[in-house]
Amino acid sequence: MDINIKTLEDVTVVELAGDIDANTAPSIQEKVLPLVGTGGKVLLDMTAVPYMSSAGLRMLLSLFRQVSAKDGKLVLVGLSEEIRDTMSITGFLDFFTTTETIEAGLAFLN
């Protein structure tokens, strides 16, 4: 799992590349949660994530709750069709704002 973190305008952009599973989800959470300040804006670029297990879903939900508790916003970008289908079937998609492109995600957050 590669995690690249950068800031565009006032948005924390987290680029993820690789599978999100029980082995990688904890490290993603460890790196992303400290970045979430009050009113923070986080964009998770998942364009290069081909697979996400239930551990990944739990990590996303935990991240969503942490961001929401601090009156922040979280956007998921570039979900694969498989991940989107899984999130839709399990009801997870209802919690998140998703966009196809980083530009659309940034526009939503600003």
What residue has token string 């551990």?
Answer: 55
Instruction: List the chain domain ranges.
Output: 2-109
Would you state the pLDDT for residue 68? Answer: 92
pLDDT, tens digit, 9 for 90 and up, residues 51-108: 999 999 999 999 999 999 999 999 999 999 999 999 999 999 999 999 999 999 999 9
- On whether the CB atoms of residues 40 and 70 are closer than 8 A, the answer is yes
pLDDT at 34 over 90: no
Give the pLDDT of residue 35. 83
- Looking at CATH, the fold of the domain delimited by 2-109 is given as Transcription Regulator spoIIAA (3.30.750)
Q: Helices 81-90 and 54-69: crossing angle, nearest 10°?
A: 70
